[in-house]
Amino acid sequence: MSELILHHYPTSLFSEKARLMLGFKGLSWRSVIIPAILPKPDVTALTGGYRKTPVLQVGADIYCDTALIARRLEAEKSSPSFYPEGQAFTAESLANWADTVLFLHSVSLVFQPASLAVRFAKVPPEAVKAFVADRSTFFDGGSATRVPLELAQHQWPTLMGRLETQLERSGDFLLGVPSIADFSVAHTLWFLKQTPVTAPLVDEYPAVLAWYQRVIAFGHGAASELGSADAIEIARNAEPAALPDEVFRDPNGFEPGQQVSVSAVDYGVNPVQGELMFSGSEELIIRREDERAGVVHVHFPRFGFRIDKR
C-alpha cells in the first residue's frame, strides 16, 4: 500500500486540520513542506495548478480539499470514524459551516493590523510584501467574499456563544463523540490562538477552550520528512488506484473521457485541466499527464467545486 504524503506548510490552518485528522486516526505519514505562496512548481506538477493547501498524495492519486482528504483517510482507516453512526449528515454540515462561515470570520480577525504585526514581527519586509500580494488575489473570481473586520468583530460573540452552548450540553465533543466537525472548528480556532492579539477570542469561552485542548491533544500522528522531488518521483513510479465502482448519472451530462476543467467555487479558483475519469455523488477524478510526475489522477469533492467542458 502506498504511503500517505501530505503537502503542507506549518502555518496553514487547513493543513493543521489535516494534521489533526491524521493524529486522530493514529496514522503514519510523510511530510512535504511546500511554499506558502505562489509559485509552487512541485505541487503544480502533481495537481495541475490547484492553489489551496494542503494536498494529500497516495502514490499517483492526488486528493484536493480537506473534506475529500477526510474521506480518503476514512477509507485508509475506518476506526475511529470521522462520521459517527447516525450523525454523518450533522457532522459534515457542521464541518462545512466551520470551513466557510467560521473560517471567513477568523481570517478577518487574524489579518487585522495588530495581529499581523505580531505574526510577521520576525519576517523580512520583502517576504511580508510578497505574502500580502499573493493573498490579495485569493478571492478573485470566487463566490466567497471577505468579511469586514468590524462585522467579524460584531458577529464573533454570537458564533462562539453558540459553540459554547453546544459544548456545555454535548459533553467532550461537539456531537458527544469526535467527528469531522471537531477538526473543522478546531483548526479555525488554532489559527486565532497563534498570537496574543486574537487568542482571547477563543480563551474567553471556557467550554470551547477545554474542548479545543482535547482536540489538539490528538496530535499529528507519526510524520517523517520527504523531499518534494522524491514525492514527484513516487507519483511517476506508481499507477493510479482503481476507479470507484459507484453508478452515478451526472446531472449536467458529463461523462468519462471528456476534456474538462475543475475549479473551486469559493476562492482560490485556479482551474485544473484534464480528462474526466470519474464523476460521482461525492467525488470527481481527472487524469493528467505531467512531464515530471507522469500520469496522475487528481481527486476533488463535488460539493464546493465546479466542472466545465474545455
Render pLDDT for 227-265 as a digit per residue (tens, 0 to 9): 999 999 999 999 999 999 999 999 999 999 999 999 999
Grid cell at residue 134? 499573493
Minimum mean pLDDT range among 29-38, 132-141, 198-207:
132-141
Check residue 1 and give its pLDDT.
Answer: 59
In this model, does residue 107 exceed pLDDT 80? yes
CATH 3.40.30.110 fits 4-80+222-309, yes or no: yes
Place of cell 506538477: 45
Query: HSE-up of 154 (CA within 13 Å, CB side)?
Result: 5
Within the chain, what is the greatest distance between any pair of CA atoms? 54
Distance between CA atoms of residues 74 and 216, nearest Å: 19
Distance between CA atoms of residues 182 and 186, nearest Å: 6
CATH code linked to domain 88-216: 1.20.1050.10
Q: What is the pTM of this model?
A: 0.97
Residue 84 and residue 35 in contact, taking contact as beta carbons nearer than 8 Å: no
Residues forming CATH 3.40.30.110 domain(s) in the chain: 4-80+222-309
Render pLDDT for 8-18 as a digit per residue (tens, 0 to 9): 999 999 999 99
Read out DSSP for 60-126? TEEEESHHHHHHHHHHH--SS-SS-TT-HHHHHHHHHHIIIIIHHHHHHHHTSHHHHHHHTTTS-HH
Check residue 250 and give its pLDDT.
Answer: 96
The SS3 of residue 258 is coil
Mean pLDDT of the chain: 97
Residues forming CATH 1.20.1050.10 domain(s) in the chain: 88-216
Render pLDDT for 130-142 as a digit per residue (tens, 0 to 9): 998 999 899 999 9
Compute CA distances 262 → 47, 154, 233, 258, 265, whole Å: 11, 36, 25, 12, 9
Read out DSSP for 137-149? TTTTTSS--PPPH
Check residue 245 and give its pLDDT.
Answer: 95
